[in-house]
Chain A
């Protein structure tokens, strides 16, 4: 309850800050949309030159893309740690966070909430609806609850991976450029992983499991039986990676407190 109350307070503050920079708000929304549009263009271009991508047709790939956008938007809204190293370690704001009575990671996440990202999630839902209709996918009683569960699991996977990577800032005194590179890689979870070779499949499934934020869970709605097992595994992978992320984080904080800056 305490944490929910805080979330609400921080969101209110976010809105107040944002209202002072109204133009920026729209620039951010538009740049987000443009980013999504370019990915979309890529899919369009691919299917100009081929009928299917590893056995998946255009509507299916677009549907996966739509699903991919949903958890990504939620994640970007609540877990936004791009400038963690610079702001909290280099500029020393971590010290302030550590003198306040709430969990440090929670405080940092709250201080960086980014609600415009949620617009991406809504667009993702629209894309799923349109391509789903094109494919004649059935809408079952379980569709919404399962969508919710899988979205949350995917958000947990993102959070776990990026929290673990961000906690590297506690070890390395240099700002890390891994996050933007990881950003490239996560996009590969949107395409049928079966087109890749074994090594990359294993990597995207078990090591940095971005296949679980796109293709696997989406396959459940597309009635792709070959990936059903993987889709059902999504919540488990989410729990495991979230735990790993939090462990790394707490360990990093412990180290920070041991080593200082």
Chain B
């Protein structure tokens, strides 16, 4: 009796330790990001520039008209700013990191360590995201509000909804990155796949063009793809185009995609392990 209790206790302890280890991955990546000074300074400048250029491009497209695809000119400005800033948070290079681990063989060492490799990568991505959220997204948003006519939401529900959805944006975007990265197990050189992924995510998530502005057939295709959950849905909540109960609905879509994308990851992970251990890489 007491023996089994002890065993249970040490198991609990072990779990706590492992949890602590995962937390450490977030912390270490955060610190690593801090060390990349040049990246940090240039990141702020370039994200501001991106917002600026997109703002002026849309201004030229509106050319005095009031509404495009359900977006007013002011909403579009806000949408552009918040979308780029959100990208600063959810964007990471997990796909590149994973595939280079696979190509240089160091993944074998990662797989025999007593943690889940994919989870570790997600934690590192989160550390990177948190860094960018605090150091880049928030100051960047302040700059954007000062420079461009951005309208911040007044409804607290929009703020809370947006922040929760932003976290899911990160999860979904990172899941797609993990899937792309793990594909290196099965394609000899997945550079092309990674480039394609990047372009597709930027365009089809609604970062460059809000989904409602695409031609009808394309936007109905995009409605059933996971990409809109990354940028378009949280952006719609922030601009106030989706309110009240609608926030629960779009959040539901994100949760749905988060769960669905777990399936290929788990499958790829086990297929990769099998490949690594049975066939020797």
Q: Which residues of A contact B (CB under 8 A)?
A: 21, 23-24, 27-28, 30-32, 34-35, 38, 41-42, 45-46, 48-50, 52-54, 168, 171-172, 174-178, 181-182, 184-185, 188, 191-192, 195-197, 199-200, 203
Contact = CB atoms under 8 A, between A and B. Distances in A.
Contact of B195 (A31, A48, A172, A192): A31
B224 to A, nearest CB: 18
Contact of A34 (B46, B190, B196, B208): B196
A42 B190 CA distance: 26
Contacts of B202: 38
B280 interface: no
Interface in B112-167: none
Contacts of B191: 24, 27-28
A203 B192 contact: no
Nearest to A49: B68
Given A24-B191, A30-B192, A53 B199 contact: no
B69 interface: yes
28 contacts: A27-B187, A27-B189, A27-B190, A28-B192, A31-B195, A34-B200, A38-B200, A38-B202, A42-B208, A45-B209, A45-B215, A50-B61, A53-B57, A168-B38, A171-B38, A172-B36, A174-B35, A174-B39, A176-B39, A177-B42, A177-B43, A181-B46, A181-B47, A184-B50, A192-B60, A200-B49, A200-B52, A200-B53
Contacts of B42: 176-178, 181
B234 to A, nearest CB: 20
Contact of A23 (B56, B188, B196, B203): B188
A49 to B, nearest CB: 5
B59 interface: yes
A52 B215 CA distance: 18
Interface in B32-81: 35-39, 42-43, 46-47, 49-50, 52-53, 56-57, 59-63, 65, 68-69
B214 interface: yes
Nearest to B104: A91
A178 B192 contact: no
Contacts of A54: 60
Nearest to A192: B60
B59 A195 contact: yes
A24 B189 contact: yes
B196 A53 contact: no
B225 interface: no
A182 to B, nearest CB: 7
Contacts of A178: 38-39, 42, 46
Interface of B is mostly: helix
Given A196-B53, A196-B56, A45 B214 contact: yes
Interface of A is mostly: helix
B209 A42 contact: yes
Contacts of A188: 53
B200 to A, nearest CB: 7
Given A24-B191, A28-B191, A188-B53, A177 B39 contact: yes
A232 to B, nearest CB: 25
B260 interface: no
A176 B38 contact: yes
B90 to A, nearest CB: 15
Contacts of B193: 27, 31
A24 B184 CA distance: 12
Given A41-B203, A178-B38, A185 B196 contact: no
A24 B188 contact: yes
Nearest to B93: A177
Contacts of B68: 49
B28 interface: no
B16 interface: no
Contacts of B46: 178, 181-182, 184-185
Contacts of A185: 46, 49-50, 53
Contacts of A34: 196, 199-200
Contacts of B271: none
Contacts of A35: 195-196, 199
A118 B63 CA distance: 36
B176 to A, nearest CB: 16
Contacts of A46: 57, 61, 209
A42 B193 CA distance: 21
Contact of A203 (B43, B49, B69, B195): B49
